[in-house]
Amino acid sequence: MAGAFDDSGADLELVGITKRFPGFTAIENLNLTIPAGSFFALLGPSGCGKTTTLRLVAGLETPTAGRILIGGKDVTDSPPHQRPVNTVFQSYALFPHMTVLRNVAFGLSRRGIQDALGRAHEALRLVELDHLAGRRPSQLSGGQQQRVALARAIVNRPALLLLDEPLGALDLKLRRQMQLELKTIQDEVGLTFLHVTHDQEEAMTMADTVAVMNKGRIEQMGAPEELYELPKTSFVANFLGQSNLFTGQVVSSSALSIVVSAAGTTLEVPRERAERHAGTVTIGVRPEKLTLLVEKPAPAAGTNVLGPGIVSDVSFSGVSTQYLVEVPGAGTITVFAQNMVFGPVVNRGSEVWVSWAVGHGFGLGDDQEAELRFTPDDDTQSIATQRRAALEAELEA
């Protein structure tokens, strides 16, 4: 590896990875393949194991079980400095005692690559910071530090670039700008990017493949549109955007669809959009797919109708208006309506019906849960905190 740049990204393969910390399991039997040259996002709430996954790939943690392969080569037992992997840390982790230029040249010098400084300047030009090469990191703004951290990683042309919520500390505008920049750089240099984030919007706009992670395993993986349009678990349905979910028994099924008895009525879902076809199933529909009706509609094929219900809340958010509708037997249903007309379509207290096209519904592979399974924070530092608590408990015992 030393001395040579990788021409293109490499595949990353995680085989049966398990990581246990004293007292808790961060990752359970994780299998994942990230093809070379892709921009892959690991999306999940705090505590889902995504940062641990990243640290395992970087070599900063050792898996309890399983293998890690980069470009087909097993690196499980290689220390971090011998892996063709570079990381953009959440806190940037720039070396405070070195200039920006020395920071960027650090990896190249360690690998004995010629003209480290020249290449470092080049990388700084790529992130448009070459004019600040002589400064110390403490003299840069947050956005500039972020770009230096990025330059310091990509200048090494790693087979795999790891991004640990690098945009987390930036304000919204800077964040958008950096997202665009990252995407451009990825297109230019053609590396494999593994991006860890809890921001679904960030994951969906940047990545070509998103894996939604929860409680140490991957719930669902695919292109962003696919995940959004056809979530397969209640976690994905709720973590990625919002969903209205209904649980009930399958009362009939045909070659094209299944019919579920739920919410005091029967609801139809296309067979190929449902994970389960018999027994108790949870089906759902996205709030923007729903139509509000002020009169009870005539029954029509290919449409599900719920109601009557009472509008309990109307909140205007510019592009759309969110309505909360209390339907007896179905709970609270969220409806997003485009603001096609001036002012709300219906007011609080109105009696309404809700309908959607059967083709927009989806059937989940698991049962609806009362609430999201959020557990405490999972950035690098909280892992340390958790681990310390666990160790302390262990020592005290």
Interface ranges with other proteins (CB under 8 A): 2, 58-60, 79-82, 85-87, 89-91, 93-97, 106-107, 110-111, 138-139, 152, 156, 380-381, 383-385, 387-388, 391-392, 395
Distance from C-alpha of 253 to C-alpha of 182, rounded to nearest angstrom: 47
Beta bridge partners, 249, equal 261, 280
Tokens of 155: 């200048």
Minimal distance, residue 303 CB to other proteins, in Å: 54
Minimal distance, residue 141 CB to other proteins, in Å: 9
DSSP string, 74-91: E-TTS-GGGSSEEEE-TT
Minimal distance, residue 75 CB to other proteins, in Å: 13
User: Residue 101: helix, strand or coil by DSSP?
Assistant: helix
Residue 30 vs 383, nearer CB to other proteins: 383
Minimal distance, residue 174 CB to other proteins, in Å: 15
Residue 61 vs 268, nearer CB to other proteins: 61
Distance from C-alpha of 373 to C-alpha of 386, rounded to nearest angstrom: 18
**With contact defined as beta carbons under 8 Å apart, do 12 and 73 qualify?**
no
Distance from C-alpha of 39 to C-alpha of 202, rounded to nearest angstrom: 12
Minimal distance, residue 102 CB to other proteins, in Å: 10
Residue 329 phi/psi, 5-degree rounding, is 90, -20
Residue 91 vs 355, nearer CB to other proteins: 91
* CA distances from residue 384 to 87, 167, 193 in whole angstroms, order as listed: 18, 21, 25
Dihedral of the CA atoms 115, 116, 118, 122 (nearest 10)? 140
Cβ atoms within 10 Å, residue 279: 7
Minimal distance, residue 118 CB to other proteins, in Å: 18
Picking from 362, 363, 365, 337, the residue whose alpha carbon sits closest to that of residue 350 is 337
Minimal distance, residue 134 CB to other proteins, in Å: 15
Residue 156 vs 304, nearer CB to other proteins: 156
Residue 280 vs 385, nearer CB to other proteins: 385
Distance from C-alpha of 171 to C-alpha of 59, rounded to nearest angstrom: 30
Minimal distance, residue 132 CB to other proteins, in Å: 13
Residue 89 vs 356, nearer CB to other proteins: 89
- The distance of Cα 388 from the centroid of its chain, to the nearest Å, equals 27
Residue 107 vs 224, nearer CB to other proteins: 107
Residue 155 vs 260, nearer CB to other proteins: 155
